[in-house]
Amino acid sequence: LRLFPNATKTRDGVKFFLNSLEWVMIRRSNNLPEVCLVIEAKNEERLEKLHKEYRKVIDEAIAVTK
């Protein structure tokens, strides 16, 4: 969370509030060995941009732990 000051730790994971309409949540799956990425965006174009951006964050975090 130090790297992302706009992040909020929740019961399920970490949620990033980007503005009044958009947010991104990254959490560990409860029953599978995977990471879940949930995005609320104002339109499809923005959704795709956020997905690429936060998928990169996840991939980099996983690479560091290997």
Q: Mean pLDDT by 10-residue block, N- to C-terminus, for the chain (66 residues)?
A: 75 91 93 94 97 93 84
Give the C-alpha separation, 65 to 51, whole Å.
21
DSSP 31: S
Q: What is this structure's pTM?
A: 0.81
Give the C-alpha separation, 57 to 1, whole Å.
13
Which residue's structure tokens are 């959704």?
47
pLDDT at 61: 85
Q: How far is CA 65 from CA 4, 18, 33, 53, 58, in A?
A: 18, 26, 14, 19, 11
